[in-house]
Structure 1
Amino acid sequence: MGTMQKRANGTYTAKIRRKGFPSLSRTFPARSEAEAWMAAQEAAITARVTATQAIEDQQRIAAECAPQYRVFGDLMRRYLDEVTPSKRAASEEAVRLRGLLKHPLAACPLEGLSAARVAEWRNERMNRVSGATVNRDMNLLGHVIEIGRREWEVDFEVNPFQLVRRPPQGYSRERRLFPAEEAALMRACTVTQNPYVRPIIVLALETAMRRSEIVGLEWERVHLHEPSVQLTQTKTGRPRGVALSSRAVTALSALRLASGGEPKGHVFPGLTPNALKLAFRRAVERAGIADFRFHDLRHEATSRLFEKGLSIMEVASITGHQDVRMLRRYTHLQVSDLARKLG
């Protein structure tokens, strides 16, 4: 507020005091001049207050509004931060998403992410990986779009990944591990820097457990006296018990002894699925084995279970296949047994 004071010599002193601003005063020979100066100063202060308030309002509105997404990678990164960690296979999905973030598709503006652009990416991806891998990538990226549409107010009338043809899955891999290859692989494991690779390979061949199931194995669920393990975190989300062969028991007993006799927690502490994948790949290369992946150990183990004479339902109870039709690919292993039964 401004105030005016008439002095004894006939001049006028104008004063302005306002909270948050320094006090102002000036003396004029005429009252009209003092009033004009005071009005100008108050207008200037009011303008500064208004501008400051406008900036604060803009900042508040920006903080309250949903974040602005410009390219597909913006959605992928938010999905990686907020959605992926809640999944059972979070570490594996994180690796997959980070790899996809390096593809030019991640730099595509959202308004340009059309079915045609997705189809172009699919075709290019098919030149590098299998149809099954492309389908898994499309499932993941399609879910990124769905979460964006439903929860993050991203403006997509339709999901472009749902408009594009899926590549054929192709035939299931039939890669078996020959005895000479297994011996070479075990020898290669003796010089690896990771001491867990060899016992993990043994467990995979004896139990048909998945990589993530082995990495997540805990001593509290390993029962060597009643040779079995109880899996609580599985791909299907359903816990299951897995019987242990004598070879698997020997491998686990050696690990328990090396860990102090009564260990607790993870059987393979500090090991991640991706670290195991890389360590296994190095061991395979060192052994001179071509075209062999960690998941092929599960196929080999399942084949050996059938070769031991187990029924489809017995094998399914060990491998965790919810749909026994997935095991029909192994029925050729029982043809000779059927022939003997037919006489």
Structure 2
Amino acid sequence: MMHETKEMTLGEGLILYRQKISILKKGYVQESYRIASLLKSRHASKKMRDFRSPDIATIRDERLAQINSRTGTCISPSTVRLEMSLLSNLFDVGRIEWGVCDSNPVTNVRKPKAAPGRDRRLTAREERQILRYCHAHPTADLYVLVVLAIETAMRQGELLKLEWEHINLQRRIAHLPDTKNGSKRDVPLSLKARDALIQLGAKTKGQVFSYTANGLKSAWRIMLQRLGIEDLHFHDLRHEACSRLFELGTLDIMEIAAISGHKSLAMLKRYTHLKAAKLVKKLEGNKHRGQQVVISHLVPYPAVANQTPAGVVVRVLDFEGIVGRGATAEQALQSAQDALLRHLMVSLRDKRPIPAPDQYLEQVDDSEIIMLDPLCLSTAQGTPTGLTLF
């Protein structure tokens, strides 16, 4: 007697897949969103057994042409690639375990080209703006979350699931018993990360943070809007942390992978975008190291000039109290240049930290900014050369 052939539509298969397969995954919530999108397709009512490769290609092309209601732009190739991977897994399960199709029609269909990995780095000014905002935020968790993300390279989900019983402040270790890739790991805490945790008031047990994923997403979005920072994701802090670990120059790639939790070194490379400024120092090696240290700090800094009843005042924006005054603009600029040079040299002598240019938080019209070079020469009339508009 012939066995009855099972029939199942794509929509029914997706729903069953969500109930039986997706529910077991750490990325269940994200995969549920992808399934919900595919269930809206006009192909959801078609039987899985009747799908051929051209049908999958049509779904791919239709999705690529759709507009994302949230962003107002086309659905990203990365999103469609993930949906195609989901469909491929569904058809494999349907063929092997459920007997509702005879082959996997996704196998031979081209996936959209993967978008290049994000290389967004956090600028010094953005970091200062964000930390100042978070420090003043009524929820202390936000500041500590940002500090830990930058200092430890932990994922957002790992941070939000941190428990006090897994944190050893004395040894400066945070234990992660359950991570995205399924393995546990211990994350070293820098002094800055440890001190940030202590500010919360260390406990013996319970969740470290009260934020949910949606709550943090909302707080992050509101903060960026108020600060006027564009195109910065919370996950970019992990990019930044990994890049900084490489830039230390004291850790090899396997040690960094142990900290960040990357199983694939290729993936770790995608997260790491070294700053060219760090590489310049390596090019010189140990030659003239003292000279390199001095010259690297004697660079132009942004300043603004204002006319007052008493004359012209020039303020260097990255420093408190570095001001030049004069009856004319030329005299005020020369005075500010001398004050800047003197401050930089005294700071180097006393081994005090010197901020890199363009870290000021003051709101200034870019058109009014001038770049003040501490090493520029003066003309016979006293006007500094090398003074350029920002």
Give the TM-score taking structure 1 as reference length: 0.68
Gap change, CA 1:92 and 1:277, over 3 Å in 2:
farther
Where does residue 213 of structure 1 map in the other structure? 158
Q: Deviations over 1:107-146 (max 9, x none)?
A: 5453554322221222233352433332222222221222
Distance 2:103 2:214 in 1: 34
Match of 1:341 among 272, 281, 285: 285
1:301 alignment partner in structure 2: 241
Counterpart CA distance in 2 for 1:191 and 1:214 is: 21
CA-CA distance at 1:174 after TM superposition? 0.7
- What corresponds to 2:262 in structure 1? 321
Indicate the residue corresponding to 1:130 in structure 2: 76
More moved, 79-88 vs 329-338: 329-338
Mapped partners of 2:137, 2:16: distance in 1: 37
The CA distance in 1 between the partners of 2:168 and 2:54, in whole Å, is 54
Q: Aligned AA for 1:298?
A: R
Asked whether the 8 Å contact 2:165–2:205 carries over to 1, the reply is yes
Deviation at 1:292, TM superposition (A): 1.7
Q: How does 1:177-256 map to 2 (within 5 A)?
A: 177-189=122-134, 196-255=141-200
Judge conservation of contact 1:66–1:152 (CA < 8 Å) in 2: no
Computing the radius of gyration from Cα coordinates, the structure with the larger value is 1
2:88 equivalent to 1:142: yes
Q: 2:57 aligns with which of 109, 119, 140?
A: 119
Shift in Å, 1:105: 4.6
CA distance in 2, matches of 1:184, 1:340: 33
Indicate whether 1:69 and 2:69 are aligned. no
Q: Residues 192 and 283 of structure 1 are in contact (CA less than 8 Å); yes or no, is this contact kept in structure 2? A: no
Between Structure 1 and Structure 2, the one with more helix by share is 1
SS at match of 2:122: coil
**What is the correspondence of 1:80-159 to structure 2 with a 5 Å cutoff?**
80-110=18-48, 113-127=51-65, 128-154=74-100, 156-159=101-104
Distance 1:304-1:75 versus aligned 2 partners, 3 A rule:
same
2:207 aligned to 229, 245, 266, which one? 266
d(CA) in 2 for partners of 1:147, 1:69: 13
Instruction: In structure 1, list runs of 5 or more residues that go unmatched.
Output: 1-64
Report which structure shows greater RCO (CA 8 Å, sep ≥6).
Answer: 1
How many residues are treated as equivalent by the alignment?
272
Write the letter of the residue equivalent to 1:121.
I
**Quick one: distance in 1 between partners of 2:34 and 2:226?**
25
Match of 1:161 among 98, 101, 106: 106
- What do you get for the CA RMSD once the two structures are aligned? 3.0
Distance across 2 between alignment mates of 1:107 and 1:218: 45
Instruction: Give the C-alpha shift of residue 103 in structure 1.
Output: 4.4
CA-to-partner distance for each residue in 1:159-206, whole Å, 9 max, x for gaps? 122121112223221111112222333455468786643322221111
CA 107–300 in structure 1, closer or farther in 2 if over 3 Å, else same:
farther
* Residues 229-256 of structure 1: per-residue CA shift (max 9 Å, x gap): 111212222221111112211222223x
Unaligned runs of 5+ in 2: 66-73, 288-390
Equivalent pair of 1:188/1:286 in contact (CA under 8 Å): no
* 1:42-68 deviation line (CA, Å, top 9, x unaligned): xxxxxxxxxxxxxxxxxxxxxxx9986
Partner of 2:119: 174
- Counterparts of 2:5 and 2:163 in 1: how far apart (Å)? 41
Secondary structure of 1:161's aligned partner: coil
Identity level (%): 37
Change (3 A) 1:251 1:101: farther
